[in-house]
Structure 1
Amino acid sequence: MSGFASLSKPLKPQSEVTVHTLHPTLEQKPRAKYNVPDWFNHNYAISHDAERSRNVSHQVRQDGRRLINETYNESWWNKHDNDVRISNRLDEVDKWRKTLEYTIQDVDREVQTMQSVKEQCERYLEHMRSPLDITLENHVTRDGRKAIDNVDDEAERELKKEVYVIDGIKRQLHQQVQTAFDQIARLNEAKQQLIRDLQDKHTAFAICEENLQLNEFSPNIGYKPDPCRPIKGQITPEEWVAFSKYNKDRAEKEIYESTRLRESIFHTIGQSSSDLESQGKASEYALRKRLHELERSLRELEWQKKQTQEEILSNENDIDRLEKAVRGNKEPLIKLAMSRQENRHSRPGMDLVRDEVTYGLCDEIQQLTAEKRALEDKLKQTKHAWNILQQQLHRIEDEIAVKSNSVMLESRALDTRRRLNTEITPSTETDRNRQLLNMDTSGLRHVLQSIY
């Protein structure tokens, strides 16, 4: 039993014990009396209990002081450790916050670059309208060819091929523009996810910073109902890191895909420009070749016309000579011979002899008749040849008109193609500056200058 318990133990009053009186005649008041030993025991108990209470109180005070020191030190270190944890958490949140900010800046730059490349691709796609219109105009112009000149020649095939090339380039560019649009949408989506994550990081950083500034003397602290309760939606630190890392990796992946797409667009534009320029040169070469062939054919026809006209003139002169030979030479001689022979038929009697004169005149008449017939036949042949030459001259003149029309159309087609500009807009600022400064990318300029 402790000292405090012994103090509370009541003493047994004397009325409850046997009283031995020495003087029976002395009247006693009716109250309780204690024995002397009880009195001593009572005093001793009080002293003993008091001393023991003081000892117990001293021990309790010492235990309290030790507990105060221990709890103070433990609380201080707990607060210090949590301050360090909050500070470390602030550093970690700030690190991820800066990482997300840098990633957002990279995404913004990539979006702007991708938008610029997309606009450049759209401009090049719009640029395809001019070559297509010119090529179709060439087709329409060459459809004006007439007769035999309306042929499916090499120029026709090259122009058709050029239409197919331009159509293929337009499809590729349209697909690249659509792909670039989708890529920009994915970049913006990744950016929005980063922005939401960054906003959460800013909020978490502000809360952690406010908690780090709080202390036991802060005015806005107080008891909270069940602060350690499980909160719906809480995640582990690993999940927190994985979420931010996923957002960062996703943005970097979209940036990488955007870079590859930009390279693909530049390659498509460059290849398209090369294909279009190559096919344009092939078409122009075929048109020039065809124009040269037409001009040469036209010159040949003009020479043939000149020669035919000269031949017709010569033929007409020969016709005149043949007609003069028939009418001016042979007919009078025939008349003369026939008249002589007929006059000799009037000789009388025995003078009507078949002499050598008769045979000579008959031979002359036959010879002149044969010569006249031969000249008439030759005259008919000459006139027939003249008719043929006239027909051929008309045919040549018609063909010259056809060829002249074809030459005019081919020249017009070539003049139309002079408006064609197959040079591509520089893909990058470096290419644009190189073009403006007339810089040589092959490295041959210095070699050629040293040689020549």
Structure 2
Amino acid sequence: MAQTDVLLTKEPAPQSVPACELPRKLYDVARNTGAYTSSGLATAGFRSAKYLVDEWFQNCYARYHQAFADRDQSERQRHESQQLAAETEALARRTQEAASRQVGARLQDMHCWKSELQRELGELGAETDLLLAQKQRLQLALDATAVPFSIATDNLQCRERRQHPDLVRDHVEMELLKEAELLRNIQELLKRTIMQAVNQIRLNRERKETCEMDWSDKVEAYDIDQTCARYRNQSTEVQFYPHSAKFEESASTPETWARFTQENLYRAERERLASGNLRVLIDCILRDAAEDLRLQCDAVNLAFERRCEELEDARHKLTDHLDKTLREITDQEHNVAALKQAVKDKEAPLKVAQTRLYQRSGRPNAELCRDSAQFRLVSEVEELNMSLAALKEKLLEAEQSLRNLEDTRMSLEKDIAVKTNSLFIDRQKCMAHRAHHPTILQLAGYR
């Protein structure tokens, strides 16, 4: 068999072999060139894979260096791993401590804003309750004005039943009209103020609801952050949430978060201050309205008292004049009777004188003389006729005076009746009704 040269080579080491490892060489396999080789006759004609002794030592040295290089690389990796583990542990601890501090600072900020919201909610709730009480006062004051308004209108209607000549537009009527107009204006003012109070209460409740929602959100977030602050590495509630490390698109920034609460507090405080100013205004309105109504009521009562005094004085004077007129009527009746008697008394002397003249006119011839007796009789008749004429004229005057006195008596009696009726209306009707006028506390909205 022909001898053949077999060349066996080892593949080169990979590029990742450490630098301390010896490079591998290409080794020639021992050739079997004769019958006296180590292979012996049994292997004659076959290829052999045995290494040379030098190659064996070189291979051992290569294994030693490879083991050393692997151990050295492993030691460096262990050291680097331990250092990396320590660094990452320290970094994780620092990061966790920083996150815990940030969560704690966030809790403090949230607690501060939550406390501010809670304080504002308490103040706004108390302010709303006070405004509700003022609204109740307004309603009570409005209800209380119904009584004096009905009294004023009833007084005006009652005084319309006065008779002439007492049906006049006197000072009492002017004060009553002023009172009725004042009551109408105050009622309109109270109604407008009630509507303003209702609107302010609605705004207060809206701001309170907004602050309550903000406060509720902060309480929930505070509880969440407080729970997060209690988490430790040994906590059993923690677990992996791979997709949690991202920012929500609708998330707010710290600036917008603080500005949102600031704006809520600002709006709430603004409405609270507006509510307080409205309460002060309501108190002034109620106080001024009660004082104005009380002053006007006193003015009307004073006008009634003065008018009643005037009527009483007029009726007293009329009664006095009536008494005097009645006495004068009596005297005049006696005078008329006396005049009639005087006229009657003159009839007999006139008859005597006329009869004498008539008889003497029958004297015969020269005896029909115009003697002094004749002249005296004629003069007597004339005097008696003149006396009768004067008495009859005086009788007519006395009768006319008596009729005038009777007319005056009737007029006085009628006027006294009118004054009595006016006094009854003003004193018994109007002033008695005005005794039910509400007090100044009731007009101010207190029970």
TM-score scaled by structure 2?
0.90
CA distance in 2, matches of 1:225, 1:72: 20
- Extract unaligned runs of 5+ from structure 1: 433-452
Give a deviation string over 1:140-199, Cα, whole Å, max 9, x none: 221221011010111000000000111111111112222111111111111111111111
CA distance in 2, matches of 1:174, 1:212: 56
Give a deviation string over 1:5-60, Cα, whole Å, max 9, x none: 99797764534x76665948964442224344433332222222222222222111
Contact kept? 2:145, 2:443, Cα under 8 Å: no
The equivalent residue for 1:281 is 298
The equivalent residue for 1:379 is 395
SS in 1 for 2:242: coil
CA distance in 2, matches of 1:250, 1:95: 18
Q: Which amino acid aligns with 2:276?
A: T
CA distance in 1, matches of 2:411, 2:193: 56
Indicate the larger mover: 46-55 or 399-408. Answer: 46-55
Q: What's the offset of the Cα at 1:232?
A: 3.1
The equivalent residue for 1:366 is 382
Q: Aligned residues, how many?
A: 428
The equivalent residue for 1:76 is 93
CA distance in 2, matches of 1:186, 1:75: 50
Match of 1:326 among 334, 343, 347: 343
The alignment status of 1:127 with 2:144, answered yes or no, reads yes
> Cα 1:3–1:48, aligned 2, differ >3 Å: closer, same or farther?
farther
The alignment status of 1:296 with 2:313, answered yes or no, reads yes
Residue identity (%): 26
1:191-206 equivalences in 2 (<5 Å): 191-206=208-223
CA distance in 2, matches of 1:69, 1:185: 62
1:208-287 equivalences in 2 (<5 Å): 208-287=225-304
The equivalent residue for 2:7 is none
Match of 2:66 among 21, 43, 49: 49
CA distance in 2, matches of 1:222, 1:285: 90
SS in 2 for 1:148: coil
SS in 2 for 1:251: helix
> Cα 1:230–1:313, aligned 2, differ >3 Å: closer, same or farther?
same
RMSD over aligned Cα atoms: 2.4
Q: Which amino acid aligns with 1:96?
A: W
TM-score scaled by structure 1?
0.89
CA distance in 2, matches of 1:397, 1:94: 91
Contact kept? 1:319, 1:382, Cα under 8 Å: yes
CA distance in 1, matches of 2:65, 2:35: 34
CA distance in 1, matches of 2:444, 2:326: 62
Contact kept? 1:3, 1:53, Cα under 8 Å: no
Q: What's the offset of the Cα at 1:286?
A: 0.9
Give a deviation string over 1:390-437, Cα, whole Å, max 9, x none: 1111111111111111111111211221221332249799xx9xxxxx
CA distance in 2, matches of 1:130, 1:232: 65
The equivalent residue for 2:131 is 114
> Cα 1:410–1:26, aligned 2, differ >3 Å: closer, same or farther?
closer
Q: What's the offset of the Cα at 1:239?
A: 0.8
CA distance in 1, matches of 2:393, 2:71: 176
CA distance in 2, matches of 1:61, 1:22: 56
Larger radius of gyration between Structure 1 and Structure 2:
2
The alignment status of 1:414 with 2:426, answered yes or no, reads no
The equivalent residue for 2:410 is 394
The alignment status of 1:316 with 2:330, answered yes or no, reads no
Indicate the larger mover: 228-237 or 403-412. Answer: 228-237
